[in-house]
Amino acid sequence: RQYFLDKIATSNNIKSLWIARGEKVISQYGEGLNNESVRDAIDKEVLQTGESIQRIVENSKETTLRVTIPYKASTPVDNTNCISCHNVNRGDTLGIISMEFDISEMRSSGMVTILKILGINILFIVVVLMLINYFVTPYMNLFSNMQEGIKKAYSGDFTHEFTSKVGGDAKNVVEQMNSLFRKMQETFGNIKYNLATFIPQGSVSSSDPLHEARTIISELSDIYKFKKTIELDGSKDEVYGRIIDILKLKYHVGHFAFFEVNNVTAERKLIYTTEEKPMCFEKTNKNALNCRAFRTSSVTISTEFPNLCKACLDTDINYVCIPFTINHDISLTVSMTSDKIEEVDLMKKNISSIKHYLEAAKPVIESQILMEKLKDTSLRDGMTGLYNRRFLDEFIDKILSQASRSHDTYAVLMLDVDFFKMVNDTYGHDVGDKVIVALSKILKNSIRESDLAIRYGGEEFLIMLHNANDEGMRSVATKIHSEFAKLSFDVGTGEPLKKTISIGIAKFPMDGDT
């Protein structure tokens, strides 16, 4: 047996071999030879569990494979009957066989094989990557370039130039995309330029030309609707009402005043205000030159400098005042106020847009002003500037109805120049005109703003004194009569001409209800 074991142990690659008896064999036959004892924990574990163990032990010099297998009792197989000699049960571990193999050479050979396989794989990967780089990278660069261009286009920038080293269909796509982007850039550039003729550039603060164009077009649409609406309004006051509605509903201005300014007399008229108290000193309405916005014809913003406009009553309030000239005679002023800086900043952003609406309303307002002048001209006597008989015929019913509702009275003075026909026949119409003009001046200077002086026809005049008592009525009549009698008219030859007038007096409604 020992000879057989030694022969096996000296075989190639077998480093050592030994056997060890199990406890039941030892109890029956004894310890056995010296080299048949358990040598380490692995032998003990295999004897206890009856399971084989394989382990690799490595150091700097060699690599060893340790194999320990159990030898178990079995029933008769191939003339081998363990139970016949051993007092054990079938399956009991009789002993173990342990062998150590030197696998250093095998391991080195395996490592070389692994390294060869690894080298081949690396070479394959490098070749694949080079092929990918050669064929796929141009497409990836194209996609990246297209993504960059589309990203710019999303923000309205169509100046991107697509490039690609790929030929075929990809090259056609690049050329078509470049052609499309050039057309888009040219188209939107023209749109932006054309829109700037309607709304000045910079009115819409946006770096995105698409958003800017969309905003401007929307603004133009709203302004067009506004203009079409006011063109059908019947008076200047209705147009002013539309502007006030725009300030309230579109721009949500909570506190503002709307003024009309006479550029000739510098008088300012309040058209509308949301406030109970005036924003400016009363003297500003009498002399609009006190208003900084009107005087400088520039937008006045209180946050630009402390106490900027001296006409403002409240120094703690913030304001934005927008002046706008309609024509040589009339200007408008929009004064917006707020105690919040955020609202003032919003007002500042809306200045250009508000001016667009005023600009759209300008020709309509100017037309209404001209219509009022024409109407006023048709209702006034060209020579004297007094209202004519047409005015009386058109408004007398309204005046009397208003007087009846308000229980007002009117003193009616009918004046006639004595022997006026003789003046025309003797001295000519030029002298007659001088007499008429002189009398009209006396009438204007003798009555109040609430009274009416009318040239009824030829040398006949009518005066309506509003709510005048008997004493006041006679006083006005006496003054007119005496002032006219004092006048002398140069007729060129001979003595100056003097004339008198006859005055008839009646009261409404005491002397008649019509």
- The confidence band for 146, taking pLDDT boundaries of 50, 70 and 90, is confident
Please indicate, yes or no, if residue 126 is contained in any of the structural domains: yes
Distance in angstroms (rounded) separating the CA atoms of residues 292 and 8: 121
Distance in angstroms (rounded) separating the CA atoms of residues 231 and 219: 18
Q: Is residue 165 domain-shared with residue 238, that is, in the same domain?
A: no
Distance in angstroms (rounded) separating the CA atoms of residues 214 and 223: 14
DSSP annotation of 249: I
Backbone angles phi, psi at 441, to 5 degrees: -65, -40
Tokens of 409: 């009275």
Q: What pLDDT, in 10s, does the model give residues 431-482?
A: 999 999 999 999 999 998 889 999 998 899 999 999 889 899 999 999 999 9
Backbone angles phi, psi at 204, to 5 degrees: -110, 115
Q: Please report the pLDDT score of residue 197 as a whole number.
A: 61
Q: What pLDDT, in 10s, does the model give residues 38-77?
A: 888 888 888 888 899 988 888 777 888 889 998 888 766 5
Q: Please report the pLDDT score of residue 105 as a whole number.
A: 77
Please indicate, yes or no, if residue 382 is contained in any of the structural domains: no
Please indicate, yes or no, if residue 159 is contained in any of the structural domains: yes
Q: Is residue 302 domain-shared with residue 346, that is, in the same domain?
A: yes
Q: Is residue 140 domain-shared with residue 160, that is, in the same domain?
A: yes
pLDDT score of 22 more than 70: yes
Q: Is residue 361 domain-shared with residue 394, that is, in the same domain?
A: no
Over range 10-30, report the average pLDDT: 78
Instruction: Give the least confident one: 184-193, 295-304, 439-448.
Output: 184-193
Please indicate, yes or no, if residue 395 is contained in any of the structural domains: yes
**How does the average pLDDT of the chain come out, rounded?**
85
Name the residue range of residue 122's domain. Answer: 108-135
CATH number at residue 283: 3.30.450
**Which residue shows structure tokens 């008997």?**
470
For residue 413, the cross-strand partners are 463, 505
Among residues 341, 368, 395, which one ends one of the domains? 368
User: Which comes out higher in pLDDT, residue 70 or 165?
Assistant: 70
Domain count, the chain: 5
Q: Is residue 465 domain-shared with residue 394, that is, in the same domain?
A: yes
Distance in angstroms (rounded) separating the CA atoms of residues 348 and 407: 50
**In terms of pTM, does the model score above 0.85?**
no
Among residues 231, 258, 277, which one ends one of the domains? 231
pLDDT score of 258 more than 90: yes
CATH number at residue 462: 3.30.70.270
Among residues 231, 265, 296, which one ends one of the domains? 231
Please indicate, yes or no, if residue 35 is contained in any of the structural domains: yes
Please indicate, yes or no, if residue 378 is contained in any of the structural domains: no
Q: Is residue 179 domain-shared with residue 164, that is, in the same domain?
A: yes
Over range 412-430, report the average pLDDT: 91
Return the axis-axis angle of helices 470-485 and 429-446, rounded to nearest 10°: 150
pLDDT score of 253 more than 90: yes
SS3 content of the chain, % helix, strand, coil (to 5): 50, 20, 30
Q: What pLDDT, in 10s, does the model give residues 78-135?
A: 566 677 777 777 778 888 888 888 777 777 787 888 899 999 999 999 998 888 888 8
Q: Which of 333, 361, 185, 356 is nearest to 260 (CA)?
A: 333
φ/ψ bin of 272: left (φ > 0), alpha (ψ from -120 to 50), beta (otherwise): beta
User: Which comes out higher in pLDDT, residue 256 or 13?
Assistant: 256
Q: Is residue 251 domain-shared with residue 324, that is, in the same domain?
A: yes
Q: Please report the pLDDT score of residue 240 as a whole number.
A: 95
Q: Please report the pLDDT score of residue 206 as a whole number.
A: 57
Q: Which of 34, 10, 29, 36 is nearest to 96 (CA)?
A: 36
Q: Is residue 397 domain-shared with residue 493, that is, in the same domain?
A: yes
Q: Is residue 345 domain-shared with residue 432, that is, in the same domain?
A: no
- The confidence band for 319, taking pLDDT boundaries of 50, 70 and 90, is very high
- The confidence band for 237, taking pLDDT boundaries of 50, 70 and 90, is very high
User: Which comes out higher in pLDDT, residue 483 or 160?
Assistant: 483
Q: Is residue 497 domain-shared with residue 441, that is, in the same domain?
A: yes
Q: Please report the pLDDT score of residue 193 as a whole number.
A: 65
Please indicate, yes or no, if residue 343 is contained in any of the structural domains: yes
Q: What pLDDT, in 10s, does the model give residues 330-373?
A: 999 999 999 899 999 999 989 988 999 999 999 999 988 888 87
CATH number at residue 30: 3.30.450.290
**Which residue shows structure tokens 């690049």?**
174
Percent residues over pLDDT 90 in the chain: 35
Please indicate, yes or no, if residue 380 is contained in any of the structural domains: no
Distance in angstroms (rounded) separating the CA atoms of residues 301 and 321: 7
Q: Please report the pLDDT score of residue 238 as a whole number.
A: 93
Q: Is residue 11 domain-shared with residue 89, that is, in the same domain?
A: yes
CA atoms within 13 A on the CB side of 264: 4
Task: Tell me the pairing of strands 460-466 and 410-417.
Answer: antiparallel
Q: Is residue 238 domain-shared with residue 363, that is, in the same domain?
A: yes
Distance in angstroms (rounded) separating the CA atoms of residues 20 and 34: 10
